[in-house]
């Protein structure tokens, strides 16, 4: 028979597995009597856990929301996932480094050695290259709450060109890409259209407005969001026909770098976006296949310059030294 502390931890872990448990079923799963179960539930409540109970033959137990954050029991994989997320948060969110590092320190100190070894291995073998903009966590939380509660938002937004404008929107979803960028998908009331906003360009904490009734979403909302995140937020957009099956190209192109649509069994269309023509040309190399540039025409010279550079690199010939600054245009 487990001692009281071990039983409580086992009970807490079991309650977290499902949204609701029947009393007799939960007692049988834990290997205790229903009387012991009721006592252990009372002990959890005394520790600050909100455990809701429904009496009667069809009643049961479920974890509710308490007034304070009680201790939380993690499985091994959950603890590793939380530790990795905390390490990433320290690099991604402005002002969150002390809290993230402190929580990570507590988690690793209290974890068994088997979990510490996994977490330390990931941290030791990972280097942060600052791949994305820093995000204010308070702004992100307010956006998420507005999406959940269907509340209008007013915020100051900075465009690609650096111009500030006041936007009033009906928020729908937050989207996160593999390059550490966060976006808000919303209905822009001023422009009367769905828009995608980069969260790092929202200048101040958004002001919450009244409740709104959600509008009908685009027919294929996921495809709309994907297209918005891969092309619309950038200064330049490119479309190319790729001579490879769509399934193969999707495995090679990161979700944030392009949208892949099949044309036929042997080819597909890649739509991608970037803030510079140079970056746009490089992203067309992701599919690792022959391609035909469909648009824009001004990207063709950049592709030719990139081809010449790659050809010189592959030839192994020494590039003659030039006076002054290096020539990056040819």
pLDDT of residue 120: 73
Long-range pairs of 193-196 with CB within 8 A, sequence gap ≥ 24: 194/218, 194/224, 194/228, 195/169, 196/225, 196/228, 196/229, 196/232, 196/233
Indicate the DSSP class of residue 263: S
Sheet hosting strand 207-211, strand order edge to edge: 193-198, 182-188, 164-176, 151-158, 207-211
Q: Which two tokens stand for residue 284?
A: 């067309």
pLDDT of residue 1: 45
pLDDT of residue 328: 46
Domain 236-315: CATH architecture, name and number where available: 2-Layer Sandwich (3.30)
CATH topology for 4-63 is Arc Repressor Mutant, subunit A (1.10.10)
pLDDT block averages, 10 residues each, the chain of length 330? 73 83 90 91 86 77 72 74 73 66 70 78 61 72 87 90 89 76 89 89 89 86 72 79 94 83 94 88 93 95 92 78 52
pLDDT of residue 291: 95
pLDDT of residue 10: 84
Q: For domain 137-217, give its CATH number from 3.30.1490, 2.30.30, 2.60.40, 1.10.4160.
A: 2.30.30
pLDDT of residue 329: 47
pLDDT of residue 323: 54
pTM of the model: 0.53
Q: Nearest to residue 235, comparing CAs of 179, 161, 328?
A: 161
Give SS3 for 155.
Answer: strand
Domain ranges of the chain: 4-63, 76-124, 137-217, 236-315
* String of DSSP letters for 190-249: TTTEEEEEEGGGB-SPPEEEEE-PPPPPPTTHHHHHHHHHHTTTSSEEEEEEESS-HHHH
pLDDT of residue 241: 96
pLDDT of residue 245: 95
pLDDT of residue 284: 93
pLDDT of residue 179: 58
Report the 10 Å Cβ neighbour count for 93.
19
Q: Nearest to residue 94, comparing CAs of 169, 7, 180?
A: 180
């Amino acid at each position: 028979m487990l001692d009281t502390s071990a039983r409580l931890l086992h009970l807490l872990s079991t309650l977290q597995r499902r949204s609701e448990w029947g009393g007799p079923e939960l007692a049988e799963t834990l290997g205790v009597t229903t009387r012991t179960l009721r006592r252990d539930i009372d002990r959890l409540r005394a520790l600050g856990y909100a455990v809701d109970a429904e009496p009667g033959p069809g009643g049961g137990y479920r974890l509710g929301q308490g007034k304070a954050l009680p201790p939380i029991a993690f499985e091994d994989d959950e603890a590793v996932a939380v530790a990795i997320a905390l390490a990433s948060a320290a690099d991604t969110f402005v002002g969150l480094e002390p809290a993230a590092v402190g929580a990570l320190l507590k988690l690793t100190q209290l974890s068994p050695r088997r979990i510490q070894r996994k977490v330390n291995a990931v941290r030791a073998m990972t280097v942060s290259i600052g791949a994305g903009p820093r995000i204010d966590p308070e702004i992100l939380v307010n956006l998420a709450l507005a999406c959940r509660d269907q509340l209008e938002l007013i915020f100051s937004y900075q465009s690609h060109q650096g111009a500030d404008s006041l936007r009033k929107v009906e928020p729908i979803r937050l989207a996160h890409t593999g390059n550490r960028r966060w976006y808000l998908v919303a209905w822009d009331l001023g422009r009367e259209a769905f828009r995608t906003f980069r969260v790092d360009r929202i200048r101040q904490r958004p002001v919450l407005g009244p409740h709104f009734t959600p509008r009908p979403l685009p027919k294929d909302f996921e495809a709309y969001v994907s297209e918005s995140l891969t092309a619309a937020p950038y200064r330049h957009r490119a479309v190319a026909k790729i001579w490879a099956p769509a399934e193969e190209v999707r495995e090679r192109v990161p979700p944030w770098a392009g949208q892949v649509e099949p044309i036929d069994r042997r080819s597909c269309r890649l739509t991608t976006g970037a803030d510079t023509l140079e970056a746009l040309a490089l992203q067309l190399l992701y599919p690792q296949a022959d391609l035909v540039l469909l648009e824009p025409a001004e990207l063709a010279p950049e592709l030719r310059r990139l081809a010449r550079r790659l050809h010189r690199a592959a030839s192994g010939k020494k590039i003659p030294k030039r006076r002054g600054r290096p020539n990056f245009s040819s």
